[in-house]
Structure 1
């Protein structure tokens, strides 16, 4: 276990801020806002790494140094010990961030939330914007 932790310490890191389209470059975004995604979470990034078959580890207790309110990060490994890539389509950290930013909006947790929000708003009762409000005394 300790030997595994020692090896993970040398892995690269992605903070969710790196691909957050709502943040500015000064706040820590690393890819263009048009290619980023809104408010990604560590677990979504982790699921995307699993989908791309890239070894990774989630560190929930770690915070982004520039903004300690941004909690969580994902460590990942692009290359195998022999020097070949785990996923030949992804050869750099930036390429991985772009792939993750594409996949996060399609994440099953996000699509369920959007469907629930759209169905609940469409089934809401009539609005009270008409003349049938509170009666005056």
Structure 2
């Protein structure tokens, strides 16, 4: 494990802002806004890298250079020392980001957060019924 620590500097860096659909390209988003997800966290990205069987390390003390209030980043290793891929389905940084977006959207912690929003969508229909009663 001690041998991996110096090599971590050569790993791919993923900031959560890269896949955040709420950000613009100028703010640092790197995937299509329709494919992105809302406010992903480093923990969610790390879980997804683990699911994809890729070595990763979460660095909480680091910040995104364009927006220093965005704390945290994830370092990911795509290739072994001999050059073979850890996951044959992921050969580039872009493919990695797209796979992570798909997994973050289905992340168990995220689905719990989205349940209250489905309750909010039921709210306006109640207001619609109330308006019909007034007519």
Gaps (5+ residues) in structure 1?
A: 131-137
| CA distance in structure 2 between the aligned counterparts of 1:98 and 1:2, rounded to whole angstroms | 31
Counterpart for residue 96 of structure 2: 96
Counterpart for residue 80 of structure 1: 80
Aligned-residue offset at 1:112:
1.7
Tell me the alpha carbon deviations over residues 62-107 of structure 1, each in whole angstroms, 9 at most, x when there is no partner.
0000000000000000000110000000000000000111111110
The alignment covers a number of residue pairs equal to 126
State the TM-score, normalizing by the size of structure 2.
0.84
Q: Taking structure 1 as reference, are residues 31 and 118 closer, same or farther at Cα in structure 2, changes over 3 Å only?
A: closer
Higher CA-based Rg:
1
State the TM-score, normalizing by the size of structure 1.
0.83
Gaps (5+ residues) in structure 2?
A: 131-135
Counterpart for residue 68 of structure 1: 68
Counterpart for residue 107 of structure 1: 107
Counterpart for residue 57 of structure 1: 57
Counterpart for residue 12 of structure 1: 12
Aligned partner of residue 13 in structure 1, secondary structure: strand
RMSD between aligned residues: 2.2
Counterpart for residue 46 of structure 2: 46
| CA distance in structure 2 between the aligned counterparts of 1:117 and 1:27, rounded to whole angstroms | 26
Greater fraction helix: 2
Listed as ranges, the matches of 1:116-127 within 5 Å are 118=118
| CA distance in structure 1 between the aligned counterparts of 2:120 and 2:28, rounded to whole angstroms | 35
